Amino acid sequence: MELADDTNATPVVKTKGIGEYISSHLRQYGLLFALIAVMAFFEVVTDGTLLRAVNITNLLLQNSYIIIMALGMLIVIVSGNIDLSVGSVMGFIGALAAVMIVNYDQSPYLTMIVCLAIGGLIGAAQGYWVAYWKIPSFIVTLAGMLVFRGLSLWLLEGQSVGPFPKEFQIIATGFVPDLFPAGIGAALADLFGARKVNVLALATGIAAAALVVWIGLRQRAQNKAYGIEDEPTSFFVVRNVIIAAALIFVMFKLSLFRGLPNVLITMGILTIIYAFITETTTVGRRIYALGGNQKAAKLSGIKTERLTFLAFTNMGVLAAAAGLVFAARLNTATPKAGFALELDVIAAVFIGGASMSGGVGTIIGAVVGAFLMGVLNNGMSIMGIGIDYQQMIKGLVLLAAVIFDVYNKNKQG
């Protein structure tokens, strides 16, 4: 009797129900639901102020440097380490840029290159002690926090230095010019009853939404081909509709104000690059393996010391980039720039789903976590809540995120 050859048959995988699927992926989707709920709450209690075009623009500008540093911090934390010096390094780089441009009349472009290189050297120096001397990252970066805070005071001589020339300010406060004919913008403005519409911003939102849907469909087809369990169809549709609608809505709001901020383009490109590295490359998989079990990763042939060194070097470059953005936005460098910002960055990563023990976390989660913290800060400020209560609420949110992480681990274990 012949047996049927089913080697080419498509694997069949039973798909979970929506409730069961969400329950098993609560870490992944819980944060997204929390962000939507928080935004809806503040939109109601602020009488619609939160989602006004000018406030959304300010929200992006105010959190740009947090998001940039969160990308690097996610990699550091996934590798099983932590960096407490990022706020001080950010302030130091801003001070260095101010001294070079304002005091010594150096080119802003040369200054930016030098500052990014020095940021990389700072990260490399700290990574060297952590990776090759096995000194705990907490100690090394705590020392770095104190050293670079002192260097900032020394460079600025305790005083603020500024203002910066326009070509430097533009990296944080500039907007991408609308490349579409003015007639199209005027026609859309009449259609929506608005004063003006930036067509480039609106078109970017539509293109981004279409890209998200296409990537989702492509991934779903690949999962089906390889027999990998996928989310229920109804949940997939609803999730993508929500994400696409949110992207178009935010871009539409930006189009009603001044269009696309330069820093949003920077954040978007960096997020795509780091998401690609962590999710699809060999280096990304090795970083997760390093954080999951360093000894096992080393025994499997992964050069753990080099990966740790590179993680801190990368963090130094991103802290420098954030320092340039922060200084350009304030149009001055101050001795207190970056003070305690490392706490916001670390909180954003943990709230975004990263594990304290390493090996777990996503770039998108870190970005959403940073936005959640930003919405909390912005919403509470609009409501007139004092900084004392703001700090307490942020602390409780961070504690809740960590408790949730521990609960999930115990549940899965």
Runs of H (alpha helix) within 47-107: 53-78, 86-98
Picking from 197, 228, 259, the residue at the C-terminal end of a domain is: 259
In the chain, the number of structural domains is 2
Picking from 226, 242, 259, the residue at the C-terminal end of a domain is: 259
Residue 242 shares a structural domain with residue 197: yes
Task: Tell me the C-alpha distance between 341 and 62, whole Å.
Answer: 12
Inside any domain, residue 3: no
Residue 97 shares a structural domain with residue 185: no
Q: Which of 88, 73, 92, 94 is nearest to 137 (CA)?
A: 73
Inside any domain, residue 8: no
Residue 273 shares a structural domain with residue 357: yes
Residue 209 shares a structural domain with residue 278: no
Inside any domain, residue 9: no
CATH number at residue 97: 1.10.3470
Residue 49 shares a structural domain with residue 78: yes
Inside any domain, residue 206: yes
Inside any domain, residue 1: no
Q: What is the pLDDT along the chain (413 residues), one digit of tens a residue?
A: 444 444 455 555 555 666 666 666 666 677 777 888 888 899 999 998 999 999 999 999 989 999 999 999 999 999 999 999 999 999 999 999 999 999 999 999 999 999 999 999 999 999 999 999 999 999 999 999 999 999 999 999 989 998 999 999 999 999 999 888 888 888 888 888 888 899 999 999 999 999 989 988 988 888 888 877 777 888 888 888 988 999 999 999 999 998 999 999 999 999 999 999 998 899 999 999 999 899 999 999 999 999 999 999 999 999 999 999 999 999 999 999 988 899 899 999 988 888 888 888 899 989 999 998 899 999 999 988 888 888 888 888 888 877 877 776 666 65
Query: Is the Cβ–Cβ distance between 281 and 307 less than 8 Å?
Result: no
Query: Is the Cβ–Cβ distance between 275 and 368 less than 8 Å?
Result: no
Residue 162 shares a structural domain with residue 66: yes
Residue 267 shares a structural domain with residue 378: yes
Residue 36 shares a structural domain with residue 170: yes
Inter-helix orientation angle 341-351/363-382, to 10°: 120
Residue 243 shares a structural domain with residue 269: no
Domain of residue 225: give its range: 175-259
Inside any domain, residue 12: no
Inside any domain, residue 242: yes
Inside any domain, residue 4: no
Picking from 259, 287, 307, the residue at the C-terminal end of a domain is: 259
Residue 268 shares a structural domain with residue 122: yes
